[in-house]
Every structure is written in C-alpha cells, then in structure tokens.
Chain A
Amino acid sequence: MSLELFLFLVFAAVAAVSGILMITRSEVVMAALFLILNLASLAGLYLLLNAQFIAVVQVIVYAGAIMVLFLFVIMLLRPEHEKIVTKISGIRTFAFIIAALVFVQLAYVILKSHPGSALNSDVTASVNAGTVESIGTELYTNYILPFEAAGFLLLAATIGAVVLAKRKFE
C-alpha cells in the first residue's frame, strides 16, 4: 500500500465516522466538535489532492471562523438536549434506510461511469492548479465579476445579520 493510499484511508475514515457521529449526537456541542473534526480531515484530503491553498483556507475559514461562530451561538443560547429524536425513532430508521439506498445508487453511478478512465491524471498539472498563483490569476481576471458579486453577497449578509440579531435600534 502506498503512503498516499494509506493517508487517504485514514482521513476518509475520520471524515466519514465524524460525519455520522455529528448527526447522531444529541448534545449540540458534541455535534459541532465532530463537524470540526470532519472539516479538519477534509483539509488533509485537500492536501492529498495537491490543493494547498484550499487546504489552508479550509482550516482558517471553516474551522477557524464558521465553526467558532456556531460554537458562540450554541454557548449563547444553551439549547437543551433533543428529546424528540428518540420519540419518533421509526421515522429516524426510515430516513436512514432511504439515505443508505440513495448512497448505494450514487456509488453505483460513480463506479459505473469510471471517471478515472477518461482523465489522464497528470501530477504536474494538478500541482500547478492548486497553487495560490493559479487560483489568484483566475480569480482576478476571468472571474472578476463573480468576485464582485461575492462582495455584495457578504455586504448583504452582514447587514442582514445585524438587522436580525440586534435587539433594538436606538
């Protein structure tokens, strides 16, 4: 087994298990912590895929900013544990069975279509695609318009969050 495959299996196992644990824990804080673990293992997978820039941004933005926001809100509101989940366990099992079936279908589609055969995976091209330089060049030339639109999106979201969360305007 090559080192790459070994690392992939480790990160993938952590990501999958922490995902499952996230949606099954009844304590909200535990769920949030498992999500952080999941996001961190994804950063490892991005490194395996030669996407250095995205791996770093993943840690900084997701684990560093978004999840901290989630944890702050959880601490602020102190939600009680969910009781209702156990009460309707029939629906729950049903949902999981459906999910498993859909997953089998998705995996079938993926394996059937053999995406690997159509792609000539060239390691140099892949490494070059993941650098800050190539992403930055694309971002500030071809994709300048979505970049500006994303700026307006953040402005709207900031204004919106302030409007909703502020208790009273003086």
Chain B
Amino acid sequence: MHVPIEYFLVLSAFMFITGVAGVLTRRNAIVIFMSVELMLNSANLTLVTFSSYIGNPVGQLFVFFVMTVAAAEAAVGLAIIIALFRNKQTMNVDEINILKW
C-alpha cells in the first residue's frame, strides 16, 4: 500500500465537514438531502479505508448496508418533499414555518 492511510482519512473528514456545512448553509430541502448523502459517503470512505488496511471485509459489508439505507432515505425524503410541495409550492426550509423551527 503506497498511499498512507492518513491521506484517505483526512479526505473523508474533509468531505464530512463539507456535508455538514452544506446542511447548515443551504435552504433548499433537496440540496440539504444531497449534503446528507455526502456525509454518508464520507463515512463509507472511512469504512472502506479501514476495512482495506485491516484486511477485514466487515467494513465493506457495512458500506453495502449504508448504500441500502441511503437509497431508502432518498426515496422517503424525496416523497416527503413532493407531498409538501403539493401543499405549499415551496421547498425552501425557511418558508416552511407553520410550526416554529
């Protein structure tokens, strides 16, 4: 293995923080969901990195499950956005305010 493990981990930490920053700064519900996907992917990168360096397949198996969850989350989240859009014609989380945030 020619690439030090630290490089992969720093990259994954960077992607994780990018995802968190996206969740905090963006106001469009779809983009917020995409930022969450970015966070999940950074965790996947960490899992695959460790799994590969330890030589143990469980981490990659975990990634397999995370992908299942991510697909399900996208389906449910987007369905909720569609249901809300029908009622309110917006997907901006600042305008969704019957209930206080």
Q: Touching in the complex, A and B, CB below 8 A?
A: yes
Q: Given A51-B60, A85-B25, A153-B72, are A45 and B45 also a contact pair (CB < 8 Å)?
A: yes
Interface positions, chain B 23-75, Cβ under 8 Å from A, are 24-28, 30-31, 33-35, 37-38, 41, 44-45, 48-49, 51-58, 60-61, 63-65, 67-75
Q: Nearest Cβ distance between residue B24 and chain A, in whole angstroms?
A: 4
A99 touches which of B17, B51, B65, B76 (Cβ 8 Å)? B17
- The prevalent SS among residues of B at the interface is helix
A4 engages B2 (CB within 8 Å): yes
A122 engages B6 (CB within 8 Å): no
Q: In chain A, what residue has the closest Cβ to B20?
A: A99
B37 touches which of A35, A128, A139 (Cβ 8 Å)? A35
Q: Which residues on the A side are within 8 Å of B35 (C-beta)?
A: 22-23
Question: Interface digits, A74-114 against B, CB 8 Å rule (1 contact, 0 not)?
Answer: 10110100101100000110011001101100110011001
B76 engages A160 (CB within 8 Å): yes
Interface size class of A (residues with CB under 8 A): 35 or more
Q: Which residues on the B side are within 8 Å of A12 (C-beta)?
A: 7, 11
Q: How far is the CA of A153 from the CA of B69 in the complex (A)?
A: 8
Interface size class of B (residues with CB under 8 A): 35 or more
Q: How far is the CA of A39 from the CA of B70 in the complex (A)?
A: 13
B58 touches which of A96, A100, A126, A138 (Cβ 8 Å)? A138
Q: Given A22-B34, A77-B91, A160-B76, are A99 and B27 also a contact pair (CB < 8 Å)?
A: no
Q: Nearest Cβ distance between residue B12 and chain A, in whole angstroms?
A: 9
A53 touches which of B4, B15, B27, B60 (Cβ 8 Å)? B60
Q: Which residues on the B side are within 8 Å of A126 (C-beta)?
A: 1, 52-53, 55
Q: Which residues on the B side are within 8 Å of A16 (C-beta)?
A: 11, 14-15, 18
A165 touches which of B24, B37, B38, B79 (Cβ 8 Å)? B79
B81 engages A77 (CB within 8 Å): yes
B52 engages A95 (CB within 8 Å): no
Question: Interface digits, A1-37 against B, CB 8 Å rule (1 contact, 0 not)?
Answer: 0101100100010011001101100001001100100
Q: Which residues on the A side are within 8 Å of B54 (C-beta)?
A: 119, 129
Q: How far is the CA of A58 from the CA of B46 in the complex (A)?
A: 14
Q: Given A23-B22, A158-B75, are A46 and B57 also a contact pair (CB < 8 Å)?
A: no
Residue pairs across A and B with Cβ atoms less than 8 A apart, 8 shown, are: A8-B3, A99-B20, A102-B17, A110-B6, A115-B5, A135-B60, A138-B58, A154-B72
